[in-house]
């Protein structure tokens, strides 16, 4: 874990040093504000870990790693407008603190700055990284649009939900790992294995997140328990519950879900009761484990000494412990 | 002019052929809708003209030229949200026809698609084009933010207005020309002269636009005459009028500008009367000419046979006749 702390320090220091400067200040301040709100910096961590694993020079991986973090923050800035979210990491969102036009434009600038940073890689890796990034950014837009579409749909298939979270969140983890492997000039086959490791791990994490929202303890989660239930979010849990419910259970779910008059705590209690009857938590945990196991097998197949894989394994465990 | 028509056909055909495809349709439809609304396709025209002028292969210039048009349309999609504009080229804007979240996200995707297309250039030109584009896109964000800031400011200096229109519109014309020169692998010094030609011509065009809004004939302009006066837009004309006004004229201007109760046609008549007293139209035309003359001198300095410069000169004249 010693190396992991060192990476984290490197990334945090780099982000602190990277102030976006330009005029007018009202355009640049939101970028520095959002980047300064912190976070795990998961994506650049994955880039550095993968680069080092594949015998690369992590100093060369730092600029594109930073680009991926900037990109992630741009998606947060625009998603928060679309979701009309008032808070991000416990602080006012950019569109709340400034205004929506500024948040749109500052987000746009942030996407350009992400490209700028991703271009600071070298040699043949540079074009490959940019091509992968174009594909990834496209998929993330698709995932976000699917997510918004699902809100107004009566029925969503579990497979469509899984595809949506793959696009919306998992592909960026896969991309982050592959960028590290590309900087290290690793063979394409290993880079792809790491990409897929990121995809499966990402879906697994999202499923854990869904579980945690309903069954986690408030203090650890740091947000309202079962917010997903209250807001009728079509998570894996809810979709599975609808799929497995008998007529009585389905009627009960329909009584609460999509009912704006439902009293929140009663609604949570009632829906959780059905989740318990159907064993939804165990099903979701088993599903997440399935993804994590697939990810493990992909990592095993990467053609590099076993010892070099330890960092990524440790980091995945560290993240799982944080959220589960 | 024969070559110019051929370029225009090439570009129009290429854009018609380039359908953005993917899922969900609600994300991709807005891209095709906006691109299909037409327009002069000024920016790709400039890229092709510059490429050909500098002995380049225009087929190689087509993908980045298309990227610049896609980029321009992305800025329109997001600007229309920020300006709450209901119409674009006489049709409903994307945020009106769909909704704001979709217009934000479709615009984001369009920026990614612009990069994708710009990357389809070859060899050493590719990285230079991307670097120039990052700089240009950054400046356009800055220009748009300045433009929005000016709306709520009491006083704006003429120089600041000129800088704003340089950033918001002229740099993309300079960039479009330079991209063509880069594809042709022209010497850096000539590419830079063409870039500056684009800057000066772009500022000149914007000044002509400002004049036309107030003094043009309705039919030719295709929009409400003097919309800039009605909406208190701080154009070159208004800023010059405030700068040159005597106390009585300034008092009269202040009576109308920023007064939400003013009757529109009375306001236009009154403000135009002051413009006439101060000779604002002539001043603005002289200023635009100054920029066009600077542009001419830059084009003269480009190190290529005079005959090869004819297309660009013809095109600039064609555009000037369209707007003046």
pLDDT digits (tens, 9 = 90+) for B129-149: 999 999 999 999 999 999 999
Contact map slice: B 45-104 vs A, CB within 8 A:
78, 81-82, 100-102, 104
Confidence class of residue B115 from pLDDT cuts 50, 70 and 90? very high
Residue B122's pLDDT is what? 80
Stretch B224-235: mean pLDDT: 89
Q: Taking the mean position of all CA atoms in its chain, how far away is CA A162?
A: 13
A27 to chain B, minimum CA–CA distance in Å?
6
B92-105 pLDDT tens trace:
999 999 999 999 99
pLDDT at residue B206 is higher than 80: yes
Residue B123's pLDDT is what? 80
pLDDT at residue B324 is higher than 60: no
pLDDT at residue A221 is higher than 60: no
Alpha-carbon distance of B296 to B291, in angstroms, equals 9
Residue B193 near residue B299, CB atoms below 8 Å? yes
The structure tokens 């920016």 sit at B43
Strand partners, B87: B92
pLDDT at residue B55 is higher than 60: yes
What token pair was written down for B91? Answer: 């049709």
Stretch A219-247: mean pLDDT: 86
The CA angle B5-B8-B13, to the nearest 5 degrees, is 125
- From residue A123, how far is each of A75, A129, A131, B182 by CA, in Å? 28, 11, 14, 20
* Yes or no, beta carbons of B102 and A148 under 8 Å apart: yes
Residue B223's pLDDT is what? 58
Residue A220's pLDDT is what? 57
Strand partners, B92: B87
* Yes or no, beta carbons of B141 and A23 under 8 Å apart: no
Confidence class of residue A195 from pLDDT cuts 50, 70 and 90? very high
* Yes or no, beta carbons of A115 and B115 under 8 Å apart: yes
Residue A132 near residue A182, CB atoms below 8 Å? yes
Chain B contact present for A191, CB below 8 A? no
Q: Which residues contact B290 (CB under 8 A, 6 or more apart)?
A: none
Alpha-carbon distance of A282 to A285, in angstroms, equals 5
Alpha-carbon distance of B189 to B301, in angstroms, equals 10
Say which of A102, A108, A148 has its CB closest to residue B101. A148
Q: Looking at chain B, list the stretches that DSSP marks H as alpha helix, in order from N- to C-terminal side.
A: 2-17, 25-35, 42-53, 58-82, 94-97, 100-118, 123-151, 158-165, 171-183, 188-215, 218-221, 227-230, 236-244, 247-256, 264-278, 280-301, 310-323
Name the packing angle between helices B171-183 and B188-215 (round to 10°): 150
Residue A82 near residue A135, CB atoms below 8 Å? no
Residue A320's pLDDT is what? 87
Stretch A90-112: mean pLDDT: 97
Confidence class of residue A324 from pLDDT cuts 50, 70 and 90? low
Q: Mutation test of the interface with chain B: which of A24, A71, A161, choosing the one with the most B Cβ atoms within 10 A?
A: A24
Confidence class of residue A218 from pLDDT cuts 50, 70 and 90? low
Nearest to B182 by CA among B47, B43, B67, B311: B47
Contact map slice: A 123-142 vs B, CB within 8 A:
126-127, 130-131, 134, 137-138, 141-142
Residue A322's pLDDT is what? 74
Name the packing angle between helices B42-53 and B2-17 (round to 10°): 130
Residue B216's pLDDT is what? 86
Mean pLDDT score across all residues of chain B: 95
Confidence class of residue B2 from pLDDT cuts 50, 70 and 90? confident
A71 to chain B, minimum CA–CA distance in Å?
12
Q: What are the backbone dihedrals phi and psi of residue B88, each rounded to the nearest 5 degrees, phi first? A: -140, 125
Q: What is the CA radius of gyration of chain A?
A: 20
Stretch B39-51: mean pLDDT: 96
pLDDT at residue B220 is higher than 60: no
B109 to chain A, minimum CA–CA distance in Å?
6
Q: What is the DSSP letter of A166?
A: I
Say which of B109, B141, B149 has its CB closest to residue A141. B109
On chain B, the residues whose CB falls within 8 A of the CB of A134 are 112, 115-116, 119
Alpha-carbon distance of A204 to A202, in angstroms, equals 5
Residue A62's pLDDT is what? 96
Q: Can you tell me the ipTM of this complex?
A: 0.96
For residues B320 and A136, the model is more confident at A136
Chain B contact present for A17, CB below 8 A? no
Stretch B65-82: mean pLDDT: 98
Nearest to A29 by CA among A92, A86, A117: A92
Give the chain A residue nearest B81 (alpha carbons): A101
The structure tokens 């700055």 sit at A113
What is the total residue count of chain B?
324
Alpha-carbon distance of B198 to A166, in angstroms, equals 43
* Yes or no, beta carbons of B102 and A126 under 8 Å apart: no
Chain B contact present for A283, CB below 8 A? no
What token pair was written down for A219? Answer: 């203090």
Stretch B199-221: mean pLDDT: 87
Residue A274 near residue A249, CB atoms below 8 Å? yes
Q: Mutation test of the interface with chain A: which of B145, B146, B160, B172, choosing the one with the most A Cβ atoms within 10 A?
A: B145
pLDDT at residue A223 is higher than 70: no
CATH match of A2-323 with 1.10.600.10 = yes
B258-312 pLDDT tens trace:
999 999 999 999 999 999 999 999 999 999 999 999 999 999 999 999 999 999 9
Share of chain B above pLDDT 70, in %: 97
On chain A, the residues whose CB falls within 8 A of the CB of B27 are 141-142, 145
């Amino acid at each position: 874990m010693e190396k992991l702390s060192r990476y984290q320090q490197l990334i945090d220091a780099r982000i602190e040093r990277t102030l976006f400067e330009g005029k007018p200040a009202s355009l640049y301040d939101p970028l520095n504000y959002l980047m300064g709100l912190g976070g795990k910096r998961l994506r650049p961590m994955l880039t550095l870990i993968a680069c080092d694993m594949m015998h690369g020079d992590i100093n060369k991986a730092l600029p594109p790693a930073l680009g991926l973090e900037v990109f992630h923050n741009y998606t947060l800035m625009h998603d928060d407008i679309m979701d009309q979210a008032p808070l991000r990491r416990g602080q006012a969102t950019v569109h709340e603190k400034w205004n929506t036009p500024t948040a749109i434009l500052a987000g746009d600038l942030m996407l350009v700055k992400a490209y700028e940073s991703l271009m600071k890689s070298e040699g043949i890796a540079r074009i490959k990284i940019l091509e992968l990034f174009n594909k990834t950014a496209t998929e993330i837009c698709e995932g976000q649009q699917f997510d918004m579409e699902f809100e107004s749909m009566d029925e969503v298939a579990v497979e469509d939900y899984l595809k949506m979270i793959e696009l919306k969140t998992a592909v960026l983890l896969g991309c982050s790992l592959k960028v590290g492997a590309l900087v290290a000039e690793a063979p394409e086959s290993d880079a792809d294995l790491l990409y897929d490791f990121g995809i499966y791990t990402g879906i697994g994490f999202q499923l854990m997140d869904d579980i945690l929202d309903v069954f986690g303890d408030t203090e650890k989660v740091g947000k309202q328990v079962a917010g997903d239930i209250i807001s009728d979010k079509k998570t894996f849990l809810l979709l599975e519950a609808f799929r497995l419910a008998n007529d009585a259970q389905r009627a009960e779910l329909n009584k609460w879900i999509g009912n704006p008059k439902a009293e929140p705590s009663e609604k949570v209690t009632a829906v959780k009761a059905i989740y318990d009857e159907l064993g939804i938590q165990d099903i979701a945990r088993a599903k997440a484990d399935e993804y994590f196991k697939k990810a493990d097998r992909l990592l095993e197949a990467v053609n590099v000494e076993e010892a070099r894989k330890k960092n990524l394994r440790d980091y995945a465990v560290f993240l799982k412990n944080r959220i589960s």
